[in-house]
Structure formats: C-alpha cells, structure tokens
C-alpha cells in the first residue's frame, strides 16, 4: 500500500517536472527567436525609436505567452501590436512603453500565431502606472497625444512683438519656425498634468479651421493654468515632433513659460 502511494507521488512529481520543463523550453525558444530576429531588424525599426520616443496606446486586447505579454494598443484611431516582458495589464488601461524594434511577419510559436507587424518594447516607460508580475509601482499616467478637440468660438487679440505668432501661422510656417522661440496668446482648452515631468496644454486662439486641423496647439510647460484661462506662451516651436509608435505633432511648443493674462 505504501509502495503504491510512493509510486503515485513519484509519477505526479515527474509529470509536474515535465510540464514545467516543457513550458520553460517554450519560453526560452521564443525568447531566442525574438532575440535573433531583433538583431536582423536592428534598432530604429519604428518611428518611436527616434529621439527615444515612447509608445502610447490604450489596451484593446492582451494575452501572455512565451514569457511575453502581447498587447493590441489603440492610439488616435489606429491599432498596433506590442510585446513586452511578461507583466500584468488590463483591457482599457492606457500604456506608455519604452521604444523597441519592429518585426514584420513575426510568428509566435507559443501562440501559434503570426503578427503582420509587432513592436517588441523593453517594457514600461518611466511615469507609467504599472503592476508587473514582480512588483507594483504607482506613477503618472501617459499623455495620449493630440485629442480630438472641436474648434471653439474664440476671439483673442494676437500677441505682439518679436516672435509673435498665431496658431494658424505656426502650422503654415512650421518648417521655417522650427527650433525658434515664439510668443503666442491663446486660451487653454485642455490640461494634462505631470506627464514625463511636464504639464501638457492644448490651446486655441480662434485662428485656423476644423477641416485643416490647424486650430489647436500643444504646449509643454511646468506651469498649470486652469482650463479657460487666457495665457501668454513663450517657448521654442518644433515641427514634426515624434512621440513614438509612428505618431507625432506637426507643431508643438516645448518648455514654455506660460503666464495667465486673463
């Protein structure tokens, strides 16, 4: 009787060992495959690699396999797949991830699935609210890019003096003004605090049009003017600013000095 029980325990232990070993081999094999294909693709495989850009998006679908967490992210109406070292994420969560390498037609053996395009990120970016499988850290939520804002009925007298612009002018002369200091008077229509160590404003001054999408300006600053405030903005304008995952701002004013005037 004791012998039968001992044999049963040995068999159970052997089964557990085999299953664990098989899963471990699967994970190692998939990681090895990912590593070899990354070397073939090389760094800078997607726009997010430029200027250490981050990958942004809201989780629409997620699954764990082969030591990775796969996420289908949505950003500005576009869907794309990203894989990171295994971590806990939830559908609906907004993600900010480190840049990585883009792979074409990547086949996951553990999922038995081929991804037409997938970015292998190094993991969560600083500032991401993350609950990983090994630890939990609470940080700021990511900025999610230019919102789909409507053009407000605003009439503001433009700024005066050297470097003075309107938003419509900024879009029209973006290349010419790239890297130059500018002055803009506008109304704050959206404020996102403490994203990557900055506050992100969206401002409008009544110029531009909804159709041409040249009516809203993004501004980064340490100031936090209330939504609805009329402000004077002094900062450096940049054209085609890449923030990762193939998304960029056609025009943005960075590190601005923002003063409330009304």
3-state secondary structure of 42: coil
Q: How far apart are CA 51 and CA 218, in angstroms?
A: 18
**More confident call, 126 vs 158:** 158
Predicted structure pTM score: 0.51
pLDDT at residue 193 in the model: 78
All domains of the chain, ordered by start, with CATH?
Answer: 42-137 (2.40.50.140), 164-260 (2.40.50.140)
Residue 87 above 60 pLDDT?
yes
Mean pLDDT to the nearest integer, 91-112: 88
pLDDT attached to residue 262: 87
Helical ranges in 82-220 per DSSP H: 167-172, 174-177
CA 192 from centre of chain: 14
pLDDT for 28: 53
Least confident of 40-49, 121-130, 139-148: 40-49
Q: Which residues pair with 237 in a beta bridge?
A: 253
Percent of the chain residues topping a pLDDT of 90: 45
Give the C-alpha separation, 87 to 69, whole Å. Answer: 6
pLDDT tens per residue across span 161-195: 999 999 999 999 999 999 999 999 999 999 887 66
**Mean of the per-residue pLDDT values of the chain:** 77
The pLDDT score that the predictor gives to residue 62 is: 95
């Amino acid at each position: 009787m004791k012998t039968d029980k001992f044999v049963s325990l040995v068999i159970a232990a052997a089964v557990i060992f085999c299953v664990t070993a098989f899963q471990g081999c699967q994970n190692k094999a998939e990681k090895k495959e990912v590593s070899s294909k990354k070397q073939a693709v090389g760094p800078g495989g997607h726009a997010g690699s430029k200027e250490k850009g981050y990958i942004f998006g809201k989780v629409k679908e997620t699954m764990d396999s082969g030591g990775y967490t796969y996420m289908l992210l949505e950003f500005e109406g576009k869907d794309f797949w990203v894989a990171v070292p295994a971590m806990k994420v939830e559908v609906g969560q907004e993600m900010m991830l480190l840049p990585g390498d883009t792979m074409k037609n990547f086949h996951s053996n553990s999922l038995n699935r081929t991804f037409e395009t997938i970015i292998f990120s190094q993991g969560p970016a600083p500032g991401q609210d993350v609950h990983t499988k090994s630890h939990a850290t609470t940080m700021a939520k990511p900025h999610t890019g230019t919102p789909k804002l409507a053009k407000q009925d605003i009439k503001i007298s433009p700024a005066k003096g050297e470097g003075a612009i309107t938003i419509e002018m900024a879009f029209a002369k973006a290349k010419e003004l790239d890297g130059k200091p500018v002055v803009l008077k506008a109304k704050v229509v959206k404020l996102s605090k403490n994203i990557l160590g900055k506050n992100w404003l969206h401002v409008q001054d009544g110029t531009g049009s909804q159709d041409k999408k040249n009516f809203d300006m993004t501004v980064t600053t340490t100031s936090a003017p209330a939504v609805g405030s009329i402000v004077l903005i002094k900062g450096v304008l940049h054209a085609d600013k890449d923030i990762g995952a193939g998304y960029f701002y056609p025009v943005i004013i960075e590190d601005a000095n923002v003063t409330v005037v009304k």
